[in-house]
Amino acid sequence: MGAVEGISKYPALAFLAAFTIILVLIPVARHFFIQSGAAQCGIRSGVFQDVGGDVCKNAEGRLIVHYFGTSWCPHCQFLNTPFEEAAGIFTNKSLIELHEWNDMDTRNATLVDAAVFDKFSDGGSIPTIVIGCRYYRVGSPFQYCAGGASLEAESITRAICNALPEGEPACTTNVTK
């Protein structure tokens, strides 16, 4: 008699075997998912992609930073405060020119900004942050992490500092590269 025949002959045994497997796998799976979730909340998960090349600046030489979102997007709503906190460090010192588009659902952006959105937004995904036309990130990777807002602000600040000239005082006091 094969194993399958034995299980079909004894349904209680089949139930017990399945129940035992589930009891063993659930703690293993929980441990795996909790560990991988915790690893995703490290600052490295918020790293911006670097497409290389020169950074884009305005006529006054300020770094151009784009933020694209919508009013109805919960990820955008979460990202608004940390983005404003990080960008505020640099706008107060006239180091960046901020292009914020929180109404992308109406596509009410200039043609230049719309082209930047189309290039970096991964098919129209929001929220999208583009720093100096060189560094970009789609999404809000820290939204579900403990201390997520401050991790977001740190990640955005770090990316802006990477695009600014080495030794920028705003960067040496606010973040380590």
Contact 64, 97 (CB under 8 A): yes
Question: In the structure encoding, which two tokens stand for residue 59, read together?
Answer: 């006529």
pLDDT tens by residue, 122-174: 888 999 999 999 999 999 888 888 889 999 999 999 999 999 998 888 888 75
**pTM for the whole thing?**
0.72
CA dist 138 and 48 (Å) reads 9
Mean pLDDT of 98-121: 78
Question: Which of 17-21, 92-96, 156-160, 170-174 has the lowest average pLDDT?
Answer: 17-21
Q: What is the mean pLDDT of residues 44-56?
A: 84
Say whether pLDDT at 89 is over 70: yes
Average pLDDT estimate for 63-68: 94
The number of angstroms, rounded, from the C-alpha of 150 to the middle of its chain's C-alpha atoms is 13
- How far lies 124's CA from each of 82, 116, 134, in Å? 22, 11, 18
What pLDDT sits at residue 30?
40
Residues 6+ apart with CB under 8 A from 44: none
- Residue 36 has a pLDDT of 39
Return contacts of 104-112, CB within 8 angstroms, 24+ apart.
Answer: 104/68, 104/69, 104/70, 105/70, 105/71, 105/72, 109/68
Average pLDDT, the chain: 79
